[in-house]
């Protein structure tokens, strides 16, 4: 065989050999959470459902790197920076303004989809709701804006009471605006407020014991993820100290507390998943307006009310989205 024929034959054999397909790289989502996976379970379920609506499944065609602050919100900036260093296609900052602000400080180029209860414009997260600008967009559940309504519901439940306590997390970026709204509501209702500050779970018991000493008729919690994710602990203390209380999270009355009023977190997290999927499909954050979850839910636990010796007025029951018998 001539050398030229040998080389031609070798080339033909090479072309005939099947080419092994290279595995396609799947996109990466960085997920930043202020707590741990356990209290986030129902929210994660809703997020994954939303992601699935856009064609993505964590077990099939998308990878998710999780970073959890375990309730230590001061760790969020470092965790966000670690996620940004991994160059994900999108960072999801769920569970409140602290996570969103930490993610924003970590990167100006990677797309961030946030989920929070506050006003993202007032907090400086985006320029406007309709045209977010920059690399951020997301969902707000309006829980912060309805703090004053919780005081109104408590006053409706206890019309003879003239003093109420308010629990606020002083480290929250929305604390001042919520207190301003609550004081305005108190003036309109003709009641006085005692503000109790706490940002640590070990102080919760002292918070409830202080309510009795203040001769306050009930306790109103401001909107804050730290409170929301500790609903079972708050419900247990409210029961032990016999304190009528209202929080933002339905988890509180579901755990035995009296009432809750706040945004529908399952809807906000599902929409966050949808937005993350749309980003993976090529849409730009500047083209996706911030979504507002306008559904706000009132939960009333009649068993808790009975244990406290409170008769819930029919007008309040008719306003409730869910009444727990």
Q: What is the per-residue pLDDT across 60-94, written as a single tens digit (0 to 9) for each?
A: 999 999 999 999 999 999 999 999 999 999 999 99
The model's confidence at residue 7, banded by pLDDT at 50, 70 and 90, is: very low
Mean pLDDT of the chain: 91
Give the length of the chain: 325
Does residue 17 carry a pLDDT above 60? no
Does residue 21 carry a pLDDT above 90? no
Does residue 13 carry a pLDDT above 70? no
Rounded CA-CA distance 233/147 in Å is 20
Per-residue pLDDT, 24: 57
Per-residue pLDDT, 293: 87
Per-residue pLDDT, 143: 73
Q: Report whether 223 contacts 215 (CB < 8 A).
A: no
Please list, in sequence order, all residues whose beta carbon lies within 8 angstroms of the beta carbon of residue 221, skipping any fewer than 6 positions away.
Answer: 150, 166, 167, 227, 234, 245, 246, 247, 248
Per-residue pLDDT, 264: 87
Per-residue pLDDT, 2: 47
Q: In this predicted structure, which of 158-162, 171-175, 308-312 has the lowest mean pLDDT?
A: 171-175
Rounded CA-CA distance 249/241 in Å is 20
Average pLDDT over residues 310-318: 96
C-alpha to C-alpha distances, 269 to 9, 31, 158, 225, nearest whole angstrom: 60, 12, 34, 14
% of the chain with per-residue pLDDT over 70 = 93
Q: Which range scores top for mean pLDDT: 7-11, 141-145, 205-209?
A: 205-209
Higher pLDDT, 25 or 285: 285
Nearest to 219 by CA among 182, 264, 251, 176: 182
Per-residue pLDDT, 186: 97
The model's confidence at residue 263, banded by pLDDT at 50, 70 and 90, is: confident
Neighbours of 269 (CB within 10 A): 27
Q: In this predicted structure, which of 84-88, 189-193, 290-294, 296-300 has the lowest mean pLDDT?
A: 290-294
% of the chain with per-residue pLDDT over 90 = 80
Report, in angstroms and rounded to the nearest whole number, the Rg of the chain calculated over CA atoms: 25
């Amino acid at each position: 065989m001539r050398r030229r024929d040998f080389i031609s034959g070798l080339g033909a054999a090479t072309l005939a050999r099947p080419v092994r397909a290279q595995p396609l790289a799947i996109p990466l989502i960085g997920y930043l959470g202020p707590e741990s996976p356990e209290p986030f379970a129902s929210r994660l379920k809703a997020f994954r459902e939303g992601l699935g609506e856009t064609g993505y499944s964590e077990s099939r065609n998308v990878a998710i790197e999780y970073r959890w602050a375990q309730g230590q919100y001061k760790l969020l900036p470092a965790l966000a920076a670690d996620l940004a260093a991994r160059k994900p296609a999108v960072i999801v900052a769920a569970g409140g303004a602290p996570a969103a602000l930490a993610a924003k400080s970590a990167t100006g180029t990677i797309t961030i989809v946030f989920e929070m209860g506050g006003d993202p414009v007032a907090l400086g997260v985006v320029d406007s709701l309709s045209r977010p600008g920059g690399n951020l967009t997301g969902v707000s559940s309006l829980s912060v804006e309805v703090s004053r309504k919780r005081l109104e519901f408590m006053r409706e439940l206890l019309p003879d009471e003239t003093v109420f306590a308010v629990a606020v997390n002083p480290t929250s970026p929305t604390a001042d605006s919520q207190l301003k709204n609550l004081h305005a509501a108190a003036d309109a209702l003709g009641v006085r407020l005692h503000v109790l500050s706490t940002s640590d779970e070990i102080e919760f018991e002292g918070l409830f014991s202080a309510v009795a000493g203040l001769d306050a008729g009930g306790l109103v919690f401001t909107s804050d993820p730290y409170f929301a994710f500790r609903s079972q602990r708050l419900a247990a203390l409210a029961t032990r100290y016999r304190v009528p209380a209202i929080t933002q999270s339905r988890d509180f009355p579901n755990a035995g507390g009296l009432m809750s009023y706040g945004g529908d977190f399952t809807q906000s997290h599902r929409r966050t998943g949808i937005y993350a999927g749309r980003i993976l499909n090529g849409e730009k954050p500047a083209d996706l307006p911030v979504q507002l979850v306008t559904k706000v839910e009132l939960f009333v636990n009649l068993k808790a009310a009975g244990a406290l010796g409170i008769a819930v007025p029919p007008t309040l029951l008719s306003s409730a989205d869910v009444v727990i018998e």
